[in-house]
A and B are shown apart, each in its own frame.
Chain A
């Protein structure tokens, strides 16, 4: 009787003991932003179990990490200036580069940006641009060279802008020769006044799926994500991406280790695994965005790696600007954005 009871107790405790012993890494990523096979491969190769959770916006991820003080996620994927914002709030841990040998595969043009000098806290994962989308059936792409072309009265009522305060203002600021990351209230006001003149031309504000109004023939010119053009081109070749001479706006999604991480070593192992060229290639083929991994990029099919909307080339990237945190100036931007929307 006693023996049987002991056996039962052992049976109950066994799985807990087994799983308790296994190491785990808690990953917090955007929805549909990884090839699920990659997670299984990581578990099989390292024996570390992946606990995976997803989010829909930087803001949501930031708010959650802000609330968790200890025992939180081991890896998160903030975009461009959110790395800076998280660092200012003490939410990220400094990386140990000696544990990340695969960093050598990454694209140097995407490293050491203003939002994280020397990549002390973040490792680039995927990246992309926003530039000018043109329906070549309605507008000759050769006549479009500058952000200022959006103000051409010929396109009145046929223009698309992003429904995103930073993207729209960065575009207007660049068109005037200012930085899209300015915190100068005067420059922001001047950009607002210039945008006010564009407002009557705008048919729709859309940043979730900006290619749709182009495919629906509602607009013929406007701001668009490079990746959206690539995806739309699978359906129709009419949508063309033009990089304006004032420079496109770039974003990078990065891997970081939150300061509330449970297992910093496992987090390094995971990040290094994600930087392995074969893994990076799998992810970028699954997601369809540009990989920050240069070795992986060179392994892609010529059709993909030469698509200018996805991989614009070093010159274009150098001319463009990466979004940086504007701190409290975001309130000034938001104020003018509200005024722009209510006019």
Chain B
């Protein structure tokens, strides 16, 4: 009886929270994307697809392409950093492992905006990195690091790293190392041990991590703005400007509906590939 009440309250409060603050506001967004803005401010619901028509433009396509390629680049780079880190982590003694995990998680108790400003202090022309290099005589002129494509990637990778490390780490933890030993005993080179045993077995973690990095990277626009100098426009900027500058709520809503649909597609792709990876890693090697 008591457990029933507890379950009702805990599940009920979560569900009502989501309905109140996610579902209902989102329904408004969907509604705004299908009515004309002129009707909206005068209180008339006037069905129109002007918002969607407006975003059918080469500009919005370019905005989408640059957002997706940025998110993809950030995901690949995060993966390249996270995989070796997670791999080394699993090979460390228990006590050191705990410290290493903690070191990665502690910065995330600070706001990511504050950490982005910290990166600016490191990377700026008269910043810490340049000062050290100049002092050491390694360079004569300060390196231009801030407001480049690479500083944007550095910021994204830094912010999203734990989302990649943790799933990979957990699937590496579950890895049966006897399989690795067996592969070695049968004469596999280190590379083929990795490519044909370790990688397929940790694929579920890798896919989960990539999804958890890719989707937020798609929406994060303050990092490219602060570290990249706001020279390009991403989907996030586009939506914000439609609402706040152009006062075009229909186009802004339409753009965020399109973004949501694209994200749903990505999550669907994740489910498909995760299922495939799981069956493959269970089904054994040919």
Contact residues of A with B, CB < 8 Å? 57, 59, 66, 157, 163, 165, 199, 202-206, 213, 216-218, 330-331, 334-335, 337-339, 341-342
Contact = CB atoms under 8 A, between A and B. Distances in A.
A338 B233 contact: yes
A342 B63 contact: yes
B42 to A, nearest CB: 11
A218 B233 contact: no
B244 interface: yes
**Which DSSP category, helix, strand, loop or mixed, fits chain B's interface?**
loop
Nearest to B238: A338
Given A216-B125, A217-B142, A218-B125, A341 B231 contact: yes
Interface stretch (B11-19, B103-111, B212-220, B245-253): B245-253
B124 A218 contact: yes
Interface hub of B41, B63, B126, B246 (most chain A Cβ within 10 A): B246
A341 B245 CA distance: 15
A67 B232 CA distance: 33
Contact of B230 (A57, A205, A331, A338): A205
B47 interface: no
Interface of B: 41, 59, 62-63, 66, 120, 124-127, 142, 144, 146-147, 225, 229-233, 237-238, 241-248
Contacts of B147: 203-204, 213, 218
B230 A342 contact: no
Contact of A216 (B63, B126, B231, B233): B126
Nearest to A157: B144
Contacts of A338: 59, 63, 233, 238, 241
B229 A205 contact: yes
Contacts of B247: 330
B233 A342 contact: yes
A194 B283 CA distance: 62
A216 B124 contact: yes
Contacts of A199: 231
A45 B225 CA distance: 46
B231 A331 contact: no
Contacts of B120: 216
A341 B125 contact: no
Contacts of B231: 199, 202, 204-205, 341
B245 A334 contact: yes
B139 to A, nearest CB: 14
Contacts of A59: 243-245
B244 A203 contact: no
A57 B62 CA distance: 28
B250 to A, nearest CB: 12
A57 B240 CA distance: 13
B246 A217 contact: no
A157 B248 CA distance: 33
Contacts of A334: 241-242, 245-246, 248
B149 to A, nearest CB: 13
A342 B225 contact: no
Nearest to A328: B247
Contacts of B66: 342
Contacts of B241: 165, 334, 337-338
A342 B229 contact: no
Nearest to A166: B245
11 contacts: A163-B230, A203-B229, A204-B230, A216-B125, A216-B146, A218-B124, A218-B147, A331-B248, A334-B246, A339-B59, A341-B232
B69 to A, nearest CB: 13
Contact of A330 (B144, B233, B245): B245
Contacts of B243: 59
Contacts of B237: 341
Given A202-B231, A341-B232, A342-B62, 13 more contacts: A57-B244, A204-B230, A204-B231, A205-B229, A216-B124, A216-B127, A216-B146, A218-B124, A330-B246, A330-B247, A331-B248, A338-B238, A339-B59
A199 B232 CA distance: 11
A66 B41 CA distance: 9
B120 to A, nearest CB: 7
B36 to A, nearest CB: 14
Nearest to B61: A342
Nearest to A218: B125
A150 to B, nearest CB: 15
